[in-house]
Amino acid sequence: MKELPFPNEAVVNPYSTDPRKNGSIYATSPVKAEIEKFENLLIRPDDFTNRVRLAYLWSKGDQQSGRGMGKTALLRYFRQRINKDWGAAEFKDQFNAIAVYVAFPSQVDRRYIEQLALSGLVDICRNGVLDASRAALRLKYLSEGESKAVLTKEDGSQEYENLLAGEILAANGVDVAKLDQAVADELIGAGVQPAAAGALARGEFEQHLRSYRKDGNLEPFYVPYDTRILDYSRSILFNDVVNYLRSAGFAGGYLFIDDIENLVDQMSRKSRIEFAKEFALCTVRPGYANTEHNFFSCVLTTHQQASVGLSSAWGDAGLSAIAKLDPTSPNSVELPLPSKDQAREIIIAHLDYFRINSGEKGSNKPFTDDGLEALFKSKQMLHPRLMLSSAAQVVFHAAQAGRTTIDAEAVNAALDTKAVIETTDVSEGIEGAL
């Protein structure tokens, strides 16, 4: 192994650069049926306008056992699939689409829908869609000669990033200020508020958002006595951003709303009803550009315990008629506990990513068959989060002991000890042992 192949804390963070933590290592075969259902509900490349508006991604279990089942990893898989080329391959170059990831690092206790919208705006600032859209909009206002001069490299290929380089545009006779004004005027005509339109045209949207806060930050989403940005976050996301993306050629997108329990766990019944009604207004009821154009489809990740408190409010808001909040709903995708064969595929995907000898790909080396059996010795150990963190402990322990294979004895020795991987950088911590 080049590095320790498993995360010592199996919690997906889509913004991490570590493939063990950001979901880049993903075994699709164990969730083939769930991926297909997700595609049939939400992707629908030949029938995009009839995709569902609201869907749920479930895991079996309660608040504890329902975590770490792979919901975030599945969202990350689809987010990467769509955003790598803004849906060009996914939708056969018919149009563009975007997946926006919404998450809450801690429980939310107020301004629920506003914080949800702000989380989406933060992801939009991070995922690169603002630059891609701005380049597409600028290209519309260049003459054929200007675009050829700006884009064409010496080898004849085209460099679209040049559309974002003011000095390259100016060197080819383009008046950048007039170009930005033309884009801003188009956005205003499409319904974007003038201040946001100007910032988007100039590539200063993140700075525009930061200007709403005295501290100039976007996180944490809620700061007492500095909540002006929350007064505007819904309108900016569901009106301004939607109209901006539509102007740039996006036909729609997805809001992946992860760990909904961090929103609902501390809500009173009254707050749940209020949140459900506001959520419906922003996502499925008339009132915003998002709903006028059926732009975002929403996918909420949850588990049965978290949904209990929200289900009655869902009915009061009329959302149950659109998509019943239940794992048996046609709009639901549920992730089951992996079988032993599926767990083996998950383990192999991580091993293959870090192999030195590519000829061993597809095997469970350095684990022996009885070593994997020992790792999967109980149903509890098939839980993806526990399985991966336990595998990290086993490999680390085996490497320290100088083992070249990991059999049942090695697994049991590692799991019976109190060995804990304490390094903050896993690859550094195991470098000597490997």
pLDDT tens sequence across 240-277: 999 999 999 999 999 999 988 788 777 888 999 999 99
pLDDT score of 156: 81
Helix (H, G, I), strand (E, B) or coil at 381: helix
Angle subtended at Cα 248 by Cα 243 and Cα 249, rounded to the nearest 5 degrees: 100
* Residue whose structure tokens are 């002991």: 401
In a domain, 219, yes or no: yes
In a domain, 33, yes or no: no
Nearest to 7 by CA among 336, 342, 347, 301: 347
Domain boundaries, position 265: 44-135+185-335
CB burial readout 138-161, b (16+ within 10 A) else e: beebbeeebbebbbeeeeeeeeee
Arithmetic mean of pLDDT over the chain: 91
pLDDT tens sequence across 354-396: 999 999 999 999 999 999 999 999 888 899 999 999 999 999 9
In a domain, 5, yes or no: no
Domain identity same for 124 and 69: yes
In a domain, 232, yes or no: yes
Domain identity same for 170 and 240: no
Domain identity same for 77 and 146: no
Domain identity same for 224 and 367: no
Nearest to 300 by CA among 339, 352, 262, 336: 262
pLDDT score of 431: 43
User: Is-contact 43 86, C-beta < 8 A?
Assistant: no
CATH number at residue 228: 3.40.50
Last residue of a domain, one of 268, 302, 335: 335
pLDDT tens sequence across 177-197: 999 999 999 999 999 999 999
Q: pLDDT band at 311, cuts 50/70/90?
A: confident
pLDDT tens sequence across 27-62: 999 999 999 999 999 999 999 999 999 999 998 655
Last residue of a domain, one of 293, 313, 335: 335
Residue 2 exposed, middle or buried by CB count within 10 Å (0-12, 13-18, 19+): exposed
For residue 220, is the peptide bond before it cis, meaning its omega torsion is within 30 degrees of 0?
A: yes
For residue 194, is the peptide bond before it cis, meaning its omega torsion is within 30 degrees of 0?
A: no
pLDDT tens sequence across 100-113: 999 987 788 899 99
pLDDT score of 289: 98
Domain identity same for 350 and 273: no
Domain identity same for 360 and 412: yes
Radius of gyration over every alpha carbon of the chain, rounded to an integer in angstroms: 24
pLDDT score of 421: 42
| Structure tokens, 293 | 């154009």
Domain identity same for 85 and 117: yes
pLDDT score of 291: 97
Q: For 339-367, what is the mean pLDDT?
A: 96
pLDDT score of 255: 98
pLDDT score of 274: 94
Nearest to 312 by CA among 283, 276, 266, 265: 276
pLDDT tens sequence across 202-212: 999 999 999 99
pLDDT tens sequence across 134-154: 999 999 999 999 999 999 987
Total number of domains in the chain: 3
Domain identity same for 154 and 277: no
Provide, rounded to the nearest whole percent, the portion of the chain with pLDDT above 90.
Answer: 77
Domain identity same for 370 and 304: no
pLDDT score of 104: 86
In a domain, 252, yes or no: yes
Q: pLDDT band at 417, cuts 50/70/90?
A: low
In a domain, 30, yes or no: no
Domain identity same for 325 and 346: no
Alpha carbon distance 407, 28 (integer Å): 26
Domain identity same for 200 and 294: yes
pLDDT score of 422: 41
Helix (H, G, I), strand (E, B) or coil at 252: strand
Last residue of a domain, one of 176, 200, 232: 176
In a domain, 28, yes or no: no
| Structure tokens, 240 | 């301004």
Domain identity same for 289 and 192: yes
